[in-house]
Amino acid sequence: MEEFKHPISGTDYPGTFQEFDDWFNTETACLDFIAKVRWPDGYVCPSCGCKTTKPSLMSRGLYLCRKCKRQTSITAGTLFHGTHKPLRTWFFAMWFVTSQKHGASALGLQRALGLGSYNTAWIWLHKLRRAMVRPGRDKLTGVTEVDETYVGGVGSNVRGRGAERKSIVAIGAEVRGRGPGRIRMAVIPDVSAVSLHDFVLNHVEQGAEVHTDGWRGYNGVEKLGFRHRVTNISASGDPAHVLMPRVHLIASLLDRWWLGVHQGAIRSSHLDYYLDEFTFRFNRRSSRKRGLLFYRLMEQAVDCAPVPRQLIIGGRQNSAATG
């Protein structure tokens, strides 16, 4: 494989926009970078397993194995597979999205990229959001607070009453010192034991201590391989934000973000992907280097097959939280 020619600033990611612009000024440079992120230990031919021979880069982003002549697409199986737009434009979109503190809107992206269509920008953002969180990977560990909150719609926030028009979002937050560590969020159809146990199993590592309030939906979590700590909020006399401060911090940030950045205008069937974007940023909030965020998104984008356009427009098919 040809050596990527700019292994400098940060650690193999650009540190500034000037560097970004300089590194990725051709399609070949973008392909090289994708290959480098995709095969960090060097390209291995999927056909003959050969890793010593340098493949030649053909037009249309194909590697040709010099030994067995197998052609491999550098972008197949990545987010960029089958795109008709230049990779450079995709890279710019990723830089733009990761450099906005509160996330990018489709209109903002359309303007920044000079895209002809708002819909294209909207689809791109959704494709990128799908690369932001890898379900089932990196589960929360240690002591973890778990609670639910309600997003959008009208009606009361009381569990199980008048909340039909709102989406229910389950939140998990690691306890790290006085603040939260990493978080996970997901739309859940209801606050039943089935839904809540499912969330805990999918997002928290077994063996962890799950800290919840006394809601009966959390009963039995200890039988699934977790330690369960229950704080009965109403009996304690202390408000919930004192007893479970981390999930309540996340819920209020989510509320502010939902109303501020998106003016509450997210269809509930798409909410999961916005939650993924929120989570991606939140879990990397201590990283001040925008180049590193760009690099993390690239790592996940090369390991993430593209989703058909129709599925993106429809949102999560099995979401019960429609409204």
**Contact residues for Zn ion (CB under 5 A)?**
45, 47-48, 50, 65, 67-68, 70
Q: How far is the CB of 55 from Zn ion (least distance, A)?
A: 8
Main-chain phi, psi angles of 203, to 5 degrees: -125, -10
Q: How far is the CB of 197 from Zn ion (least distance, A)?
A: 47
Q: How far is the CB of 91 from Zn ion (least distance, A)?
A: 28
Give the integer Cα–Cα distance in Å for 237 and 233.
7
- Beta carbon nearer to Zn ion, 50 or 307: 50
Q: How far is the CB of 52 from Zn ion (least distance, A)?
A: 11
- Beta carbon nearer to Zn ion, 50 or 240: 50
- Beta carbon nearer to Zn ion, 70 or 316: 70
Q: How far is the CB of 28 from Zn ion (least distance, A)?
A: 21
- Beta carbon nearer to Zn ion, 67 or 267: 67
Q: How far is the CB of 245 from Zn ion (least distance, A)?
A: 56
- Beta carbon nearer to Zn ion, 8 or 48: 48
- Beta carbon nearer to Zn ion, 54 or 159: 54
